[in-house]
Amino acid sequence: MRALSTPAAENRSKKRGFQNSLWGVAAWIAGIVFVFPVIWMVLTSFKQENAAATNPPSWFFAPTLAQYGQVFDRNITPFLLNSLMASVFSTLLVVLLATPAAYALSLRPVAKWSDSLFFFISTKMMPVVAAFLPVYLLVKHLGMLDNIWTMVILYTSMNLPLAVWMMRSFLLEVPREVLEAGEVDGAGLLTSIRKIILPIVSPGLAATALICFIFAWNEFFLAVNLTATNSGTSPIFLVGFISSEGAFLARLCAAATIVSLPVLIAGWVAQNKLVRGLSMGAVK
Amino acid sequence: MTTTVARPGRRAQAPVRPPKGGAKDRWVRRAPLLPALIFAIVITQVPFLYTIYLSTLSWNALRPGDKPFVGFDNYVTVLTDSRLRSALVNTVVLTAGAVIFSLVLGLVFALLLDRKFFGRGIVRTLLITPFLVMPIAAALLWKHALFNPTYGLINGIFGGSTDWVSSYPKAAVITTLVWQWTPFMMLILLAGLQSQSHEVLEAARVDGANAWQIFRRMTLPHLRQYLELGALLGSIYLVNTFDAIFSITQGGPGTATTNLPYEIYLTMFRKFEYGEASAAGVIVVILTIIVATFALRVISSLFKMEENR
């Protein structure tokens, strides 16, 4: 039986090897075609304006950093710093609020933990516009329009549900037996957090923080309506390009590359945890 | 990327010891939750209650003077206004179009990545990259560098002089959204594919099932819950689409791509009809609650399904 099936199996595996390389070629082509707009964006950002807006497209050109210089001359730096502040501080605040909450919904659960959990996700389902007017009026009333701390607070509430769900899914991975053993040995809450829980969930904590950072960095609706010259974030810098006249394509591509770069890096670093974060911990 | 749908489970993981003991113990358990809960209620729920109040006022910010109470007048205005109805239809078309196409394309990519080949990690990184480009940057990139009739890359490669954005506004917006959201769907579906049992698939192959039969009879049913999850989460995010419309079409031509968020934005900041904008906001929330109740049921059943496995 075995002797009979061997040649067939060998044949099959040879055939599959060939199929696999064909498969790889198909996947590579799909990947490159799909990502091509990004490649094109980066290529265009190194062109002179007259080489950028051509038909047929120019594939060979002398690369220049002129457009990046232009973008910095037009003062993109404050926008980047505002984004950095809003994203970093809101992420810190989210982690500080969400981690204890996730703990109270997983390891030492409150009585109606699932109700609270679903309350958090339901706030994420409510469209931002629906409750935006009162927020706008209040912010205006308090004189907090165009203030970066307003953005910090709003981004915190935007990312809170995601972070609670995500942290909860990581905390559930802490083995209960180890926790209980620690308690029997007389470890206090702080000790077990420091010695048992943190080492296990710290990769999850980092992934949660990175995903909150990404969403805060990219947020547009709140930023365009609540900020202006002082606290405009990076997406606001791009608004000027919506209906630009004249030659601006290469400069737009340079600006788009700069503002996207932090998230590209964060996303590539966190890519193994990305799916878990985006599905709020539902898919590991 | 190991994979299973997580169980916020009653089974082994979650509340082993249901809260017992006195009031003190309950408060000790509640304490870590309260800051986040209060923060979420204050920032999201209180403004919404205030929106309900505003929706009963006749209030145009450009008109000085008092803001008389008008009861349900704003609701009547909004519901009989054809703009809101067309915005509702546009929202459904744009969201459904983006979700369906990105699911299909995401499934194709996930299937491609589910086999070992040279440079698989790199291809995966390439495929998730569009998701990481800032949405408004992506929208402007498509608008100016790809769709532009004279120097856009699409006409540059394929010829012709189609003005994609004005001729096919909905399709242009959907294309941009699909490009950004396909990676998201791909990641979820890839997680689903990799959670399939290899022994069972191998057994089916040995029994002489061909690739299509295996896909149709085994993979697809297995993927069903992942498809549902992707569709659900994608809809939650995409129904709020604002950046792409704001920057590619400004809701036009006419109102061809004006969705609910953009319409409410216009009512608020172009017409300054605060009362009407609030009423529209309340209607959107009611619609969302209806959809969300259904959606939460799907989420719960997904989790239960996994627990019972």
Q: Are residues A27 and A155 in the same domain?
A: no
Mean pLDDT value across residues A20-36: 91
How far is the first Cα of chain A from the last one, in angstroms, to the nearest whole number? 42
Query: How long is chain B?
Result: 309
pLDDT of the residue at A217: 94
- CA–CA distance, A139 with A156 (Å, rounded to integer): 16
Tell me, yes or no, if B3 comes closer than 8 A to chain A by beta carbon: yes
- CA–CA distance, B222 with A119 (Å, rounded to integer): 29
pLDDT of the residue at B239: 87
Instruction: Please give the sequence-ordered ranges of beta strands (E in DSSP) within chain A, or none if there are none.
Output: none
Mean pLDDT value across residues B275-294: 83
pLDDT of the residue at A252: 93
Q: Are residues A13 and A137 in the same domain?
A: no
Q: Left if phi > 0, otherwise alpha if psi is -120 to 50, otherwise beta: which for B6?
A: beta
Q: Are residues A160 and A34 in the same domain?
A: no
B43 and A26 within 8 Å at the Cβ level: the answer is no
In angstroms and rounded to an integer, the radius of gyration of the C-alpha atoms of chain A is: 25
Residue A125 belongs to a domain = yes
In this predicted structure, the answer to whether residue B32 has a pLDDT above a threshold of 80 is yes
Mean pLDDT value across residues B30-46: 89
Share of chain A above pLDDT 70, in %: 94
Query: Per-residue pLDDT tens for A153-175?
Result: 999 999 999 899 889 988 988 88
| pLDDT-based confidence at residue A2 (cuts at 50, 70, 90) | very low
Strand partners, B280: none
Residue A157 belongs to a domain = yes
Return mean pLDDT, chain A: 86
Task: Quote the minimal CA–CA distance from B164 to chain A in Å.
Answer: 16
Mean pLDDT value across residues A207-211: 89
Q: Which residues of A235-267 are buried (b: 16+ CB within 10 A; e: fewer)?
A: bbbbbebbeeeeebbbbbbbbbbbbbebbbebb
Tell me, yes or no, if A33 comes closer than 8 A to chain B by beta carbon: no
The boundaries of the domain holding residue A38 are: 2-66
Strand partners, A273: none
Last residue of one domain, picked from the residues A46, A66, A86: A66
Query: Per-residue pLDDT tens for B47-106?
Result: 888 888 888 888 888 877 778 888 888 888 888 888 888 998 999 999 999 999 999 999
Share of chain A above pLDDT 90, in %: 39
Q: Are residues A102 and A56 in the same domain?
A: no
**CATH class of the region B81-262:** mainly alpha
For residue A104, list chain B residues with Cβ-Cβ distance below 8 A. Answer: 29-33
Residue A284 belongs to a domain = no
pLDDT of the residue at B130: 95
Q: Are B134 and A218 in contact (CB under 8 A)?
A: yes
* Facing B43 at nearest CB: one of A122, A157, A249: A157
Tell me, yes or no, if A45 comes closer than 8 A to chain B by beta carbon: no
**Token code pair at residue A268:** 């590539």
Tell me, yes or no, if A212 comes closer than 8 A to chain B by beta carbon: no
Residue A59 belongs to a domain = yes
A20 and B117 within 8 Å at the Cβ level: the answer is yes
Give the CA distances from residue A79 to residues A124, A230, B135, in Å, rounded to whole numbers and listed in that order.
27, 9, 16
Residue A54 belongs to a domain = yes
How many domains are contained in chain A? Answer: 2
B233 and A279 within 8 Å at the Cβ level: the answer is yes
For residue A28, list chain B residues with Cβ-Cβ distance below 8 A. Answer: 119, 123
Q: Are residues A118 and A217 in the same domain?
A: yes
pLDDT of the residue at B1: 35
pLDDT of the residue at B303: 60
A131 and B112 within 8 Å at the Cβ level: the answer is no
Residue A231 belongs to a domain = yes
pLDDT of the residue at A198: 86
Strand partners, B5: A283
B126 and A34 within 8 Å at the Cβ level: the answer is yes
Q: Which range among A229-233, B110-114, B195-199 has the greatest average pLDDT?
A: B110-114
Mean pLDDT value across residues A174-199: 82
For residue A56, whether the previous peptide bond is cis, meaning omega lies within 30 degrees of 0, is yes
Q: Are residues A215 and A95 in the same domain?
A: yes
Q: Where do we find the tokens 């009547």?
A: B76
A8: amino acid identity, one letter: A
Q: For chain A, what percentages of helix, strand and coil (3-state, to nearest 5) are there? A: 75, 0, 25
Q: Are residues A12 and A56 in the same domain?
A: yes
Task: Quote the minimal CA–CA distance from B284 to chain A in Å.
Answer: 7
Query: Per-residue pLDDT tens for A183-193?
Result: 788 777 788 88
pLDDT of the residue at A33: 95
Mean pLDDT value across residues B196-203: 85
Mean pLDDT value across residues B271-286: 87
Q: Are A270 and A185 in contact (CB under 8 A)?
A: no
> Residue A229 belongs to a domain with what CATH number?
1.10.3720.10
In this predicted structure, the answer to whether residue B258 has a pLDDT above a threshold of 80 is yes
B92 Cβ neighbours under 8 A, 6+ residues apart: none
pLDDT of the residue at A13: 65
Weakest mean pLDDT among A190-194, B15-19, B148-152, B250-254: B15-19
A106 and B124 within 8 Å at the Cβ level: the answer is no
